[in-house]
Amino acid sequence: MASSLSNPSPVSRFLFGLRKFFGLSSGQDFSEEYQETVQKILSERFSQVSGISDLKARSKGERKFLEFRLEFKKETPSSEHSNILGSILDDLKEEFPYTEIIIYPEVK
């Protein structure tokens, strides 16, 4: 007897196709769309930042998520990091108002 996973019903295949079409199964990746905007904001307004890496932007249903590693320049005092991160978050939330944003700070 074949399991239902190896031989899904037509209804299951249809529902899976709908989920995939609307980006509900594993989320849609928007990294490329966000990358340019994030880099532009950082380069124009935050000279203390040397770059970003591992940017991931995706959606799950109606929710959008953006996360990346932020690289501070070595000469930026660590006492300023939290204020800079707050300003960056404010600017990004203005640009992407319905996006949950997570930043992982690093010094390079």
pLDDT in tens, 76-94: 999 999 999 999 999 999 9
End-to-end CA distance of the chain: 58
Cα distance between residue 65 and residue 103, in whole Å: 11
What's the domain range around 47? 26-107
What's the burial of 35, exposed, middle or buried (CB within 10 Å: 0-12/13-18/19+)?
middle
- Confidence at 45, pLDDT banded by 50, 70, 90: very high
Domain membership of residue 5 (yes or no) is no
The pLDDT value given to residue 32: 80
Domain membership of residue 16 (yes or no) is no
Domain membership of residue 21 (yes or no) is no
**Domain at 83, CATH number:** 3.30.70.1350
Alpha-carbon distances, residue 38 vs 5, 20, 28 (angstroms): 41, 28, 18
The answer on pLDDT for 28 being more than 50 is: yes
The answer on pLDDT for 68 being more than 50 is: yes
What total number of domains does the chain contain? 1
Domain membership of residue 34 (yes or no) is yes
